[in-house]
């Protein structure tokens, strides 16, 4: 791990991942470009959050099969994330579908090297813990968390290194309310902590989030947040590929993000699955902006 991280505020570097190949509806590949067009990363920069667009990763013109294409994106993304971290900056990855998580967290893992383990908060309506053996849809955006644990195709589990990128005891899922037996079985076997919506409603997101941050920080060198926009209630974030009713309230998640704004152990943020073609008056785009602001502002 590089030692050049100063105590001054880190500058966020945005990587857009214009890939929706891992989803059934590819529309989220237009997410990064739409957010750019709306100009709000510029707005964040103006707000002195030190945010700058680094690059947009696109699919190669000549595509092989979906697995190879997603694996290719993951490799490119992982390198970019590791580079940003080694410069002492903060990677903000904007999807694209959730399969980009394979690249994001493989890159953070590579950056940490032997410095310690990586913790991960996975905020999502789904578990994303399928393999090709258990998935009903074959869609790779339903698999990234399993891949990061080391389960699945070698192309997806061995990005930058053969090691698992996270250990089950260093991960928490938040907001889950829609899943299939095969993936639930894997997470149960691995004993991963899952905060389902009913527990969140009972105890409140602030309490649950604080507990989850402690959980993923305790034995790790740092942690990341992977936010699938479908974790939010579709009434507040309709622009996603797989909406599920009864989700997180935006105001609660904004408060939660603000609570870790100055946390030096937070290493990277990823916001995925925003699909502009399904949005309503840019409501979801605005939610992405507010969430980024609350974390970086
Ligand atoms: Mn997801």
Prior bond of 96 cis (ω within 30°): yes
- List, as one string, the DSSP characters of 105-157: HHHHHHHHGGG--EEEEEE-SS-----TTT-SS--GGGSHHHHHHT-S-HHHH
Q: What is the pLDDT of residues 255-280, one digit of tens each?
A: 999 999 989 999 999 999 999 999 99
pLDDT digits (tens, 9 = 90+) for 150-186: 999 999 999 999 999 999 999 999 999 999 999 999 9
Q: Which residues belong to the active site?
A: 98, 124, 126, 128, 141, 228, 230, 273
167 CA from centroid of ligand 1 (Å) = 18
Distance 228 CA to ligand 1 centre (A): 5
Rounded distance from Cα 126 to ligand 1 centre (Å): 6
Percent of the chain at pLDDT above 90?
A: 87
Residue ranges of domains in the chain? 12-296
> What is the distance in A from the centroid of ligand 1 to the CA of 3?
32
CA 104 to ligand 1 center in whole angstroms: 14
Q: Reply yes or no on whether the pLDDT at 187 is more than 70.
A: yes
Pair 7, 253: CB distance under 8 Å? no
- Residue from 259, 271, 252 nearest 295 by CA: 259
Query: Mind listing the pLDDT tens digit for each residue in 110-122?
Result: 999 989 999 999 9
pLDDT in tens, 55-90: 999 988 777 799 999 999 999 999 999 999 999 999
Local confidence band at 49 (pLDDT 50, 70, 90 cut-offs): low
Q: The domain 12-296 is classified under which CATH number: 3.40.50.720, 3.40.800.10, 3.40.1380.20, 3.40.50.300?
A: 3.40.800.10
Q: How far is the CA of 192 from the centre of ligand 1 (A)?
A: 16
């Amino acid at each position: 791990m590089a030692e050049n991280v100063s105590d001054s505020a880190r500058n966020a570097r945005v990587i857009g991942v214009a890939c929706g190949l891992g989803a059934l509806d590819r529309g989220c590949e237009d997410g990064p470009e739409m957010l750019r067009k709306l100009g709000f990363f510029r707005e964040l920069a103006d707000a002195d959050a030190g945010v700058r667009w680094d690059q947009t990763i696109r699919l190669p013109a000549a595509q092989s099969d979906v697995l190879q294409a997603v694996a290719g994106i993951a490799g490119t993304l992982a390198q970019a994330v590791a580079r940003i971290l080694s410069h002492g900056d903060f990677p903000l990855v904007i999807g694209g579908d959730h399969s980009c998580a394979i690249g994001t967290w493989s890159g953070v893992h590579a950056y940490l090297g032997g410095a310690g383990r990586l913790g991960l908060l996975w905020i999502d309506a789904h578990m994303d813990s399928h393999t090709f053996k258990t998935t009903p849809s074959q869609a790779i955006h339903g698999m990234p968390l399993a891949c990061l644990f080391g389960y699945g195709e070698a192309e997806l589990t061995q990005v930058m290194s053969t090691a698992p990128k996270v250990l089950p005891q260093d991960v928490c899922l938040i907001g889950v309310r829609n899943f299939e037996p095969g993936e639930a079985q894997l997470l149960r076997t691995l004993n991963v902590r899952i905060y389902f919506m009913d527990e969140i409603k009972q105890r409140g997101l602030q309490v649950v989030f604080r507990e989850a941050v402690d959980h993923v920080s305790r034995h790790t060198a740092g942690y990341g947040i992977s936010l699938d926009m479908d974790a939010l209630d579709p009434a507040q974030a309709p622009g996603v590929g797989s909406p599920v009713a009864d989700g997180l309230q935006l105001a609660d998640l904004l408060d939660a993000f603000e609570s870790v704004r100055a946390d030096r152990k937070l290493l990277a943020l990823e916001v995925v699955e925003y699909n502009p073609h399904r949005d309503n008056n840019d409501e979801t785009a605005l939610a992405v902006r507010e969430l980024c602001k609350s974390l970086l502002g």
